[in-house]
Structure 1
Amino acid sequence: MTIRREAGMTGGAGGASPQQAVRPAHPWWPTLCVLSVIIVSEFQFRMRGYQESLSGSPDLFVLLEVATYGGVALFLFLRFRPRPRIVPPPAGLSCYLLGYGFGCVLILSAAYSPFPMLAMVRAGQVVVVLALFAAIARYADRGALHRVAHAYCALMAAAVVFGILVPFPRETQPDRFSWLYVHPVQAGEMLATAVTVLSAYLFTLRLERPGPRWPLWAYLLCLGLCAGGLLATQTRGAVFGAAVGATFVLWTRHRGSRKVDVAAVSTLVLMLIALTSWSTVTDFFARGESAERLASLNSRTDLWALAMEQMAQYPLYGSGLAASRGVFLDSMGLGGGHNALVNLLVDNGILGAAAWLGLLAVIGVAATRLAGRAEVSRVDGILVLSVLAGMVANSVFTEELGTPANAAFTWLYVLLAWVLVAGVRRGEPAGTRAIREGR
């Protein structure tokens, strides 16, 4: 059993005995906390209109969501007893600063939001995600993060099976696959992340890493379910994001001349698909829509033009957390900017967009360095970089990566914690080092 020793409890005068100074680790708490946050944020058990959401009127499931976030916060506080003084390790200073900085911009923007009740709830959820990020970065190890990734993929595969066996009625877009009352766009985004993660594990099966190792058939089964569900959602941005993520897996997995081989084979495969299935591919992405609608990216270009007008009124700080939902709903009947950067510019202005871009950059740079190592943390770098690339590609068409209380936002901070944990060069877990040094 893994044990951890508290700082200042190594015996001696006034110190506790070695038997009292140790306590068992909790390797599953990151998995339970992350999945709990994702499930209550994304898994919709009823239909709820935009106007009800904006008004902040609670129902049973809203109260359950708030209670779950509160439960995670209470667990973190009781388990780790955070201290007022935070001293991040110098090697991860930029990650901590940008992680906390982006979160603080979102929280502070709730003060001037036109929807105060909704904004206050979202700000509270950001606080919980920040606390979870800090706890994972300090007290978890790489094996725990791989357990999070495996459990997430199992959850997504189970959701696809549930959606097939128990189809819920959908009044809008009934031909697109989902489960419960989850919107196909959100379902596609979550499945795209799972497809990227599973691709990373499949192509790095022979590389050393901690955490669980499923048999090959289990990875293939989950990948087949998630990829099939992703295509059935007909979410074009998510499919594009999954393709980008898988491409990053292939490119970072190999080195030197092998990259040329991978590029040649990939080009050949794409050519064969184009020659044999071009009409099927174009029909999938066209989705039966007119040329006019496709040219405007499903009305997104009109939406983004409106966003630029709104941003011009409050360019530096934005209109406030969740303001974009009301702005776009009143003008075009769409509850969001359908682009993470555009949404941030409206809600949080240039300040929020700059903090978000900086956060993406530090995660990407740190993951690239990990992927280039010859040691066991290489798998971590490949997975983090590929998932990040896929989510950023999908963020061109949907806003979740730049807004709180959803799977993409939670994954963003999981990836940030991951590069901090994997970046510790010593053999000891990051949490042991933090506790030993009194942080």
Structure 2
Amino acid sequence: MTVKGVFPRRRPPAPSAGWWAYALPLALMLASDYKLRSRDVDNAVSGSADLTVVLEIAVYGAAALYLVWRFGLYLPRRRTTGLLLAAWCFCGYVAFSALWSPFKSLGIVRGVELLITMLVAHTIATRATPEDLRKLAHVFVGIVLVSVGIGVAHPFPRTLHTESRFNWLYVHPVIAGVYLAVAILLVVGYLIRWNRPQDRLWHPVVYVVALAVLTGALVATGTRGAALGCAAGLLVLLATARGPKGRIDVIVMGAAVSVLAVLAFSDKILAFVSRGESTEQLATLNSRTELWSLAMDAFREEPIFGRGLGASRGLFLDSIGLGGGHNAFINALVDNGVVGTVAFAALLLTLGFVLLTLCRHRTLRADAGMMLGIFGCFLTDSMTTEGLAAPANVSSVWLFLLVAWTEVLRRQGGDPAVVQRRPEEALERPDPSGATVTAAPYVERAPQES
């Protein structure tokens, strides 16, 4: 019998947003963290500007001007999602809090940079494609690999506290550890895509070599928070990016690797954790517990609206010699008070919930699981660093990139095997009685935009 019907209709792939979708966020990261000079915290909080600071501000300004020149002064006419709204509310309040900061110059500059970062993320969320973000991830890994090469070939002068720890240029080992941890998670996220080799831009051997180099560099930085965050992120990534099979792999392989590491490398693990520090230093987490006590005293003085953006950066210099909250949530409490911390928590909870929802879709699981792994890495690392709640650093830029990437995945829709009938298109099939029965064929429905 002749079958009359149609092939399932597929939505044509969306056109690429262009080079700006991966060039602009990477430029913001490099301008914020990659320095060719070392600067005292006192000079930073005072608001004094040198050539490096001017260059950083110029990069942020150029990114904003390019988006305005390219797309105008209006945002795309799409329904604003709860995730984007939560991100804008957090950024808006943090930037507004600079008006009552004791370090107003620093606060205003950081606030404007935060708004520009969110503008870039929003534009990516509404215009970019998964292919654009795939390029961004691979370019980021390439930049980190080149940075490791620079650190090996030409070590820059180090301070007393970092002379035995690996880094590159004048990037602090803590920041270098975050770059390396994110790069490792991206490499693993693409390496394990056995069923989707089209997502890889490199040969699998290149990913394996990159993973070995990045892992060795992360251990050499001696950054315990980033290493612990990377381990937690790997567990989350492997448990979600491959569905139920990934959870079994985590249980079996995780147990085997943990036992092997404890038996074979226990002395090296203890040396990495202790890092040559005394028992008193380890008990206070390198004076972090003392800093947090002072931070909570400062929070009680201004509990509702906080002391303003940038306050924690210079508030404790005189008393303890440390700048920043060294914990994302404590930093948010001191700078932004209860109002800003609630906005920060709402953003994190919304992002985590949406990513978990996307992990249920077979076609989005690989990207969503990788993003969830990076998100878990940042949450773990934020226990000892404030980068996630502070503007203009790799953790902050990547947080809003996660928001953008999540929105891009939601626009693609999940599991396009969902079908619907079209009565105007018929398909003849035989009936046991001998009659011909006409039925509407199954036609693939285009994913819905949200």
Q: 1:203–1:249: 8 Å Cα contact kept in structure 2?
A: no
Question: Are the structure 2 counterparts of residues 345 and 257 from structure 1 closer, same or farther at C-alpha, using a change threshold of 3 Å?
Answer: same
Question: Are the structure 2 counterparts of residues 3 and 269 from structure 1 closer, same or farther at C-alpha, using a change threshold of 3 Å?
Answer: closer
Q: 2:242–2:366: 8 Å Cα contact kept in structure 1?
A: no
Higher mean displacement: 326-335 or 238-247: 326-335
Q: State the secondary structure of the residue aligned to 2:326.
A: coil
Question: Are the structure 2 counterparts of residues 141 and 425 from structure 1 closer, same or farther at C-alpha, using a change threshold of 3 Å?
Answer: closer
Aligned to 1:418: 405
Q: State the secondary structure of the residue aligned to 2:411.
A: coil
Using the aligned pairs only, state the percent identity: 37
Distance 2:226 2:413 in 1: 37
Alignment counterpart, residue 201 of structure 2, candidates 213, 234, 238: 213
Aligned to 1:293: 281
The reply on whether 1:249 has 2:237 as its aligned counterpart is yes
1:80 partner amino acid: F
TM-fit CA distance, 1:176: 0.5
2:191 partner amino acid: L
1:70 partner amino acid: G
2:411 partner amino acid: V
Alignment counterpart, residue 61 of structure 1, candidates 13, 30, 52: 52
Q: 2:242–2:365: 8 Å Cα contact kept in structure 1?
A: no
The reply on whether 1:198 has 2:187 as its aligned counterpart is yes
Q: 5+ unaligned residues in a row in structure 1: which ranges?
A: 5-23, 428-436
Distance 1:164 1:36 in 2: 23
Distance 1:62 1:425 in 2: 39
Aligned length: 404
Q: Structure 1, residues 377-404: CA drift from partner, whole Å, max 9, x if none?
A: 2222011101000011000010001100
2:303 partner amino acid: P
Distance 1:34 1:233 in 2: 24
The reply on whether 1:307 has 2:295 as its aligned counterpart is yes
Alignment counterpart, residue 371 of structure 2, candidates 384, 387, 410: 384
Question: Are the structure 2 counterparts of residues 414 and 386 from structure 1 closer, same or farther at C-alpha, using a change threshold of 3 Å?
Answer: same
TM-fit CA distance, 1:325: 1.1
Q: Structure 1, residues 271-304: CA drift from partner, whole Å, max 9, x if none?
A: 1211222121011100111111111111111111
Distance 2:383 2:127 in 1: 34
Counterpart mapping for 1:25-424 below 5 A? 25-83=16-74, 88-89=78-79, 93-172=81-160, 173-207=162-196, 213-256=201-244, 259-375=247-363, 377-424=364-411
Distance 1:242 1:419 in 2: 20
Distance 1:280 1:334 in 2: 29
1:407 partner amino acid: V
Distance 1:410 1:253 in 2: 23
Q: Structure 1, residues 342-393: CA drift from partner, whole Å, max 9, x if none?
A: 1110000111111111111111111112222112x22220111010000110
Q: Structure 1, residues 69-116: CA drift from partner, whole Å, max 9, x if none?
A: 0000010001111327x7542xx6211210100101111100000011
Aligned to 1:8: none
Aligned to 2:426: none
1:192 partner amino acid: A
Question: Are the structure 2 counterparts of residues 45 and 291 from structure 1 closer, same or farther at C-alpha, using a change threshold of 3 Å?
Answer: same
Q: State the secondary structure of the residue aligned to 2:81.
A: helix
Question: Are the structure 2 counterparts of residues 88 and 312 from structure 1 closer, same or farther at C-alpha, using a change threshold of 3 Å?
Answer: farther
Q: 5+ unaligned residues in a row in structure 2: which ranges?
A: 1-11, 415-448
TM norm structure 1: 0.88
Question: Are the structure 2 counterparts of residues 322 and 258 from structure 1 closer, same or farther at C-alpha, using a change threshold of 3 Å?
Answer: closer
TM-fit CA distance, 1:257: 6.1
- Cα RMSD (Å): 2.0
Distance 2:121 2:188 in 1: 25
Structure ID, larger Rg: 2
2:333 partner amino acid: L
TM-fit CA distance, 1:126: 1.0
Q: Structure 1, residues 221-260: CA drift from partner, whole Å, max 9, x if none?
A: 2222221111111000000011011111211134336623
Q: 1:157–1:222: 8 Å Cα contact kept in structure 2?
A: yes
Distance 2:349 2:325 in 1: 22
Distance 1:335 1:343 in 2: 10
TM norm structure 2: 0.86
Q: 1:88–1:96: 8 Å Cα contact kept in structure 2?
A: no
